[in-house]
């Protein structure tokens, strides 16, 4: 087993020396080429337009392409502006919400330069240990110089982006605790091994898993703004198309990606436009009232369901290119925002989607289109 020498790079340390070349060869299946899964795509686009909606939880059987969609995000998302030299990728326009390092640099009179960088989509892989997730003592400096320095972890890298946890229902409890803590406060506080660091960590948490293999803690499930139920399409034509595209991708990934890059560029433009449009989107009182009626009818816990529904509907309207939310948007996003918030005994999650669908039809009338 030969050893790889690693030096943590400026962004927190990543690839071994001989791995980089191989990885650039591995193309990612494009977002636009994914067949079906419209609900999942909508949920992720909403989260990209308005991160305050909350995280996205993807329930589904294995083999339903859950992780394919998430891994297609980095190529899809428009790049963002970040402070050059900042380890956490602070937003130059964030004012006092920047990290302590940036604020210090400003205080001593340095002018912070902005640079364009891709939105981070970070994986929390299996077997991750707490020191790599939260960040820890910089091993190299400690060993070689006896110096105490902080090495940022995955939560730092995911700041202003996405953190993806596959099989989140099997995640160890103490890591779940950590994620919950950070999700609530928007900050990661590290007190370990003699270091004391506090840095911003606001990201969209995307989790996926098969509910048959273990349930999510209710506190964790509640953290997710949107929940998607994914099933493989049963339509034969759709399945043929999936196979055809997958085959084409494997045969010539570069050509496939190039072919779909236009569709992805279009989606990217509409994302950018949606973000700009979002502050102007209004919700008429009548639409708002009907949405509240829906929540009451379903018996959702507390008000968080309604707030999420509202935010998601506005983002959906922005994506659709309009500035006034209509019932149509509410119908589209209600299942996403509410299916995991129904007040129920935890044993009855099988029927949530159906229940939400029925309540929607009752309130808004059966969909005509």
Residues 145-164 that bind other proteins (CB under 8 A): 145-146, 151, 153-154
The answer to whether 304 is a known catalytic residue is yes
- Residue 15 has which token pair? 């690839």
Of 105, 132, 304, 344, the catalytic one is 304
Contacts of 262 (CB under 8 A, 6+ apart): none
The number of residues that bind other proteins (CB under 8 A) is: 79
Euclidean distance between CA atoms 110 and 158, whole angstroms = 25
Which residue in 26, 69, 23, 53 sits closest to 264, CA to CA?
A: 69
Q: Are 35 and 240 in contact (CB under 8 A)?
A: no
Is 214 or 284 the residue whose CB approaches other proteins more closely? 214
Q: Is 81 in the site for other proteins (CB under 8 A)?
A: no
Maximal CA-CA distance, the chain: 70
Question: Binding marks (x or -) toward other proteins, 175..204, rule CB under 8 A?
Answer: ------------------xx----------
When asked if residue 252 is in the footprint of other proteins (CB under 8 A), the reply is no
What distance lies between CA 148 and its chain's CA centroid?
33
Can you tell me the distance from the alpha carbon of 143 to that of 172, in angstroms, rounded to the nearest whole number? 29
Contact segment (CB under 8 A) with other proteins among 221-229, 243-251, 305-313, 322-330 equals: 243-251
Residue 111 makes contact with other proteins by CB under 8 A: no
For position 95 contacting other proteins by CB under 8 A, the verdict is: no
What 360-366 contacts at long range (C-beta under 8 Å, 24+ apart), as own/partner pairs, is 360/294, 360/331, 360/334, 360/335, 362/297, 363/290, 363/293, 363/294, 363/297, 364/290, 364/327, 364/330, 364/331
Could you say which of 38, 97, 100, 126 contacts other proteins (CB under 8 A)? Answer: 126
CB contact set of 110 (below 8 Å; sequence gap of 6+): none
Which lies closer to other proteins via its Cβ, residue 170 or residue 189? Answer: 170
Nearest-approach distance from CB 30 to other proteins, in angstroms: 16
Question: Is 73 one of the binding residues for other proteins (CB under 8 A)?
Answer: no
Q: Is 254 in the site for other proteins (CB under 8 A)?
A: no
Nearer to other proteins, 240 or 272 (CB): 240
C-beta of 243: minimal distance to other proteins in Å?
5
Residues 300-339 binding other proteins (CB under 8 A) are none
* Active-site annotation, residues: 304
């Amino acid at each position: 087993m030969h050893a790889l020498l690693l030096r943590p790079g400026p962004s927190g340390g990543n690839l071994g020396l001989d791995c980089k070349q191989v990885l650039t060869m591995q193309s990612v299946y494009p977002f636009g080429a994914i067949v079906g899964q419209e609900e999942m795509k909508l949920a992720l686009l909403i989260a990209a337009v308005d991160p305050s909606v909350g995280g996205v939880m993807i329930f589904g059987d294995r083999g339903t392409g859950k992780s394919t969609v998430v891994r297609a995000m980095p190529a899809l998302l428009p790049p963002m502006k970040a402070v050059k030299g900042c380890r956490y990728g602070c937003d130059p326009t964030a004012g006092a919400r920047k990290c302590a390092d940036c604020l210090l640099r400003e205080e001593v009179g340095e002018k912070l330069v902005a640079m364009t960088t891709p939105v981070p989509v970070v994986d929390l892989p299996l077997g991750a240990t707490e020191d790599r997730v939260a960040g820890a003592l910089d091993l190299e400096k400690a060993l070689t110089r006896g110096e105490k320095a902080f090495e940022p972890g995955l939560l730092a890298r995911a700041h202003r982006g996405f953190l993806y946890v596959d099989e989140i229902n099997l995640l160890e409890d103490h890591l779940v605790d950590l994620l919950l803590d950070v999700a609530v406060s928007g900050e990661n506080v590290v007190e370990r091994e003699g270091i004391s660091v506090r840095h911003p960590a606001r990201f969209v948490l995307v989790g996926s898993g098969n509910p048959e293999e273990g349930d999510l803690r209710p506190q964790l499930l509640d953290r997710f703004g949107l929940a998607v139920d994914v099933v493989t399409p049963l339509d034969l034509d759709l399945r043929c198309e999936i196979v055809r595209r997958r085959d084409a991708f494997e045969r010539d990934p570069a050509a496939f990606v190039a072919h779909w890059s236009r569709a992805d560029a279009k989606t990217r433009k509409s994302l950018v436009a949606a973000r700009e449009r979002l502050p102007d989107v209004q919700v008429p009182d009548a639409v708002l009232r009907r949405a509240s009626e829906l929540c009451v009818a379903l018996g959702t816990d507390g008000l968080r369901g309604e707030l999420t529904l509202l935010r998601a509907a506005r983002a959906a309207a922005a994506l659709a290119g309009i500035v006034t939310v209509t019932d149509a948007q509410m119908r589209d996003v209600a299942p996403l925002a509410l299916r995991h918030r129904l007040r129920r005994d935890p044993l009855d999650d099988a029927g949530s989607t159906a229940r939400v669908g029925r309540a929607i039809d009752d309130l808004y009338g059966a969909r005509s289109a």
